[in-house]
Amino acid sequence: MKYLIVIPDGMADEPISALGGLTPMAKAVKPCMDRLVKTALVGTVSNVPQGMVPESDTANLAILSYDPKVYSRGRSPLEAVSMGIDMKPDETAYRCNVVTLTDNGEDYDDKIILDHSADEITTPEADLLVKALQEKLGDDVKTFHTGISYRHCLIWKNGDDRYPFMRPHDILGKRIGEYLPKKENGGEAFYRLMRDSFDILNHHPVNEERRRRGLRPANSAWLWSPGKKPQLPSFKQKWGLDAAVISAVDLIKGIGLCAGMRSIDVPGATGNVRTNYRGKAEAAVGAFCDGCDLVYVHVEAPDECGHRAELDNKVLSIEKIDADILAPVVEYLESTGEPYRVMVLPDHPTPIRVRTHTIDPVPFFIYDPQKPLAGADAFTEADAAAKNNYLPNGYRLMELLTKP
């Protein structure tokens, strides 16, 4: 049996008036998903337990069968693993976004956060900025490491791994003062670092060149999601399956590596709507040909479009996932004559209206051509909810997918 899991990150949404009351999932032309769902097991699932922050680390851990209440320790350590950082037990990892703040001469606390991704800055540009941070702020205790695009990592020896940072994508368009780390709850060192980073980055040549080209500058670091070195039980020992993960973001790669899965890089995979969809499909087929029993394909594009309130691009990204990833891989699986199953679901919603993640249940389907069921007319939030098949714990999904 072969298993394909496709995660269109943040795909679930709310009805939108500009789409005639449809959601992006309902608006998107996605013939492969809509064909498979007609005879699939269909329902909704909560990947993020109540009381936990709806982050991608929590949700994807759940989908891969790791109870977030037990194993979720922040996304940054998982990203550090993917980046090849050998974390020591006394070190804490922090996600270090390079963000865009206003530059009108106001005090740091009075600045407005405009973009959590600095117009999705390129990795080569960001690398120069991260190196500048390391040169000016790094030392024997703190080290900055370049990730992908705006997503980077700070390793801090004996750093506080429980500090309640604010997620930058939750406060877009707001004055940052009330959301910055506070002296009174142990955040003074974090505050100083973020404030000093603005002075280092704001007029860096990379940012001056970006302004010249009409792009937003990445003029401040923003710390969040701390955690210690993660440890996950082996996925193969849990399920007896050789598995691979395909993603453009370090977080998902890190989860896979910590679980002992193979992580496959795809040239041109960016984490946004312009990613290499076909390349991910080819990599998935290649993984199956190389003996993998399960391939987990994660696509960040719908999530980024939700954060950026790019409605048309969110619809487009769903259509591209269907046409350029799901359809060709299913076609390959059908051609082998071997039994297979396909599971498709977003990890969490990222509604255009709020531009951040929500904790609401998400639609899912599990398709097995040898076991046709009374599925749904189309793969949408409403059609899935109408099945009244709700799974409260996403970490039980793997049991449904693999059960005889």
Per-residue pLDDT tens over the stretch 149-172: 999 999 999 999 999 999 999 999
Confidence of residue 8 (pLDDT cuts 50, 70, 90): very high
105 by Cβ neighbours in 10 Å (0-12 / 13-18 / 19+) ranks as exposed
- pTM confidence score: 0.82
Q: What is the pLDDT of residues 254-297, one digit of tens each?
A: 999 999 999 999 999 988 999 999 999 999 999 999 999 999 99
Domains of the chain, first to last: 2-70+231-402 (3.40.720.10), 91-227 (no CATH)
Q: What is the pLDDT of residues 326-352, one digit of tens each?
A: 999 999 999 999 999 999 999 999 999
Q: Which of these, 197, 242, 234, 237, lies nearest to 217 by C-alpha position? A: 197
Say how far apart CA 331 and CA 94 lie, in whole Å.
41
Q: What is the pLDDT of residues 122-138, one digit of tens each?
A: 999 999 999 999 999 99
Q: What residues have CB less than 8 Å from 42, skipping those under 6 apart?
A: 363, 364, 365, 373, 375, 376, 379, 383, 384, 387, 389
